[in-house]
Amino acid sequence: MGFEIGRRALLQGMFAIPFIGRAGAQTQWPTKPVRVISGGSAGGGSDIAFRLVEQRLRDKFGQPFIIENLTGAGGTTGAAAAAKATDLHTFFISNVASNAIGVPLYKNFPFNPKTELPGVARLCTVTNALVVPANTGISNVQQFLERVKADPAKAFFGSAGPGTTSHLSGLLLGQRLGVELTHVPYKGTAANLTALLRNDVMFSVENLPVVISNVQSGNLKILAVSQARRSPLFPDIPTLQEAGVPDFDMFSWYGVSAATATPREVINRVSDEINAALKTEETIKRFRNIGSDAAPLNAADFDKFIAAEIDKWTPLVKSSGATSD
């Protein structure tokens, strides 16, 4: 009898060990400050989006989440460094350029998006906006379409550079309208905005936060937003779909991904905290104030979303002819 009781106790203890081990791993992480690599420049969109949830992560995990800017190759340099990290304390601020558009854009993409850099949580979506200089006399999408179709040779559109969402959104607009629009690439959003304000180009389908101040000052006019739903900041502005451009749903986004070596339980815990933060009214308002929409997705759904984004952008990138080494 005593032997049997002892044997049962031993077996119970053996099966309990993995559970205790997992719980122990959870309570012990993180053991040092967490590195969060950003592929963008300091103070850019990636940094701003992550900082809106960083305080909650710091409070919940007892360690700072420190942004490290590692720029280059449209953000893929930073993404690759994060993917290969093995310290179990490295994350990446993922975005449409580095995790979706970059896959078909770069001939030698530096990591496997299907098996490396797993998603943790989506943070937000950021619509683009079809904008024209306010002095063009164009006040709605219908007038814009009439102007473009009447003289497509003058339909120049500016972008922040080849392969950016402003480039690909303008390209898709031309495809949907059945007209060949002339792309004028600039070196970054600031240069593109300057060209638009000088009337060097007819229009741009640029990131909404980039144009907000000039819209509010009366220098630019938003005709429509590129996402399939209206922007809470400009609820009276139609979507391109509503304005008669079929099958148009283009937007940027930011999220958090993890180094490939990160344990799944750590990914899930960080995901839970980020998603909880994104559902609070305070965080929703803070994202809205910077021209974006909090858009929580858990780790599994974010992985599916990224895969779908790669599929969505790949044919457009290939049709644009934009490639890079």
Domains and CATH numbers, the chain: 11-125+252-320 (3.40.190.150), 126-225 (3.40.190.10)
Residue 281, CB half-sphere, CA atoms under 13 Å: how many?
Answer: 0
203: Cβ contacts below 8 Å, ≥ 6 apart = 130, 131, 132, 144, 155, 157, 158, 170, 196
So what's the pLDDT on residue 162?
87
Q: Token pair of 219, please?
A: 């220098």
- Note the Cα 247 to chain centre separation in Å: 20
93: Cβ contacts below 8 Å, ≥ 6 apart = 36, 37, 38, 39, 40, 46, 47, 49, 50, 67, 254, 255, 256
Mind listing the pLDDT tens digit for each residue in 70-112? 998 888 999 999 999 999 999 999 999 999 999 999 988 999 9
The partner residues of 91 in beta bridges, in order of sequence, read 36, 258
Reduced to 3 states (helix: H, G, I; strand: E, B; else coil), residue 120 is strand
Longest dimension (CA), the chain: 95
So what's the pLDDT on residue 323?
75
Comparing C-alpha atoms, which of 269, 259, 265, 262 is closest to residue 21? 265
- Note the Cα 318 to chain centre separation in Å: 20
Mind listing the pLDDT tens digit for each residue in 237-283? 999 999 999 999 999 999 999 999 999 999 999 999 999 999 999 99
So what's the pLDDT on residue 27?
53
Report how far residue 224's alpha carbon sits from residue 211's, in angstroms, rounded to the nearest whole number.
13
- Note the Cα 70 to chain centre separation in Å: 17
Report how far residue 163's alpha carbon sits from residue 321's, in angstroms, rounded to the nearest whole number.
9
Phi-psi region of 262 (alpha: psi -120 to 50; beta: other; left: phi over 0): beta
What DSSP string runs through 239-266? BTTTTT--S---EEEEEEEE-TTS-HHH
Report how far residue 244's alpha carbon sits from residue 222's, in angstroms, rounded to the nearest whole number.
16
Helices (H), the chain: 2-28, 45-61, 76-84, 96, 102-105, 141-150, 165-177, 189-197, 208-216, 264-278, 281-289, 299-320
So what's the pLDDT on residue 143?
96
Comparing C-alpha atoms, which of 46, 72, 95 is closest to residue 325? 72
State the burial class of residue 217 (Cβ atoms within 10 Å of its Cβ: 0-12, 13-18, 19+): exposed
So what's the pLDDT on residue 19?
27
State the burial class of residue 307 (Cβ atoms within 10 Å of its Cβ: 0-12, 13-18, 19+): middle
Q: Token pair of 179, please?
A: 């007209």
Q: Token pair of 267, please?
A: 């990914």
Q: Nearest 5°: CA angle at 304, between 303 and 310?
A: 90
Series of mean pLDDT values for 10-residue runs along the chain (325 residues)? 43 32 59 96 90 97 97 90 97 95 92 94 97 96 94 93 92 92 92 96 94 95 96 95 94 97 98 98 94 96 97 92 75
So what's the pLDDT on residue 8?
41
Phi-psi region of 55 (alpha: psi -120 to 50; beta: other; left: phi over 0): alpha
Query: How many residues are present in the chain?
Result: 325
DSSP 10: H
How much of the chain exceeds pLDDT 70, in percent?
91
